[in-house]
Amino acid sequence: MAQPFHLAIPVKNLEKCRSFYRDVLQCEEGRSTKDWVDFNFFGHQLVIHQKEDFNPQRISNLVDGHDVPVPHFGVVLTWVDWQSLSKKLKSLNFEFVIAPCIRFEGKVGEQATMFFKDPEGNALEFKAFKDESQLFAK
């Protein structure tokens, strides 16, 4: 396995976001203070930092017919785990920016993807490849 990445993001409401990452996405909580919380974000280190004046950018880029929020972050899951998370979020009547779908169908890099935001508006993308060798294919 490659080395895990570390990502720190701002949030206005630490407790609301703590609950989202811990309870909805089921990320294991690590160290914390009153101002930040570490999570095991699918094998990577995600830290949410309380920033009361945080205002996420609201820009996007057209990709394969979808208005993709930029910036965004996420993780590449296995096909089975992606389907499981997709079903879970749908059962919670979760609001998607881009509902679960197949992108680049029949082309190099074909992938399942979904976009949604955390409670503070940070955009996340979760994706999966039936053929994982397509992850970096040109």
pLDDT bucket at 1, cuts 50 / 70 / 90: low
Q: What domains can you pick out in the chain, each with its CATH number?
A: 6-50 (3.10.180.10), 59-134 (3.10.180.10)
* Full strand arrangement of the beta sheet holding 44-50: 6-11, 44-50, 36-41, 28-32
pLDDT (tens digit per residue) in 67-122: 888 889 999 999 999 999 999 999 999 999 999 999 888 888 889 999 999 998 89
Judged against a pLDDT cut of 80, whether residue 66 lies above it is answered with yes
d(CA 14, CA 50): 6
- Going edge to edge, which strands form the sheet with 96-103? 72-77, 123-128, 111-117, 96-103
Cα distances (angstroms) measured from residue 106 to each of 111, 113, 127, 131, 134 = 10, 15, 16, 12, 12
Q: Say whether 136 sits in a helix, a strand or coil.
A: coil
pTM, entire model = 0.86
Percent over 90 (pLDDT), the chain: 68
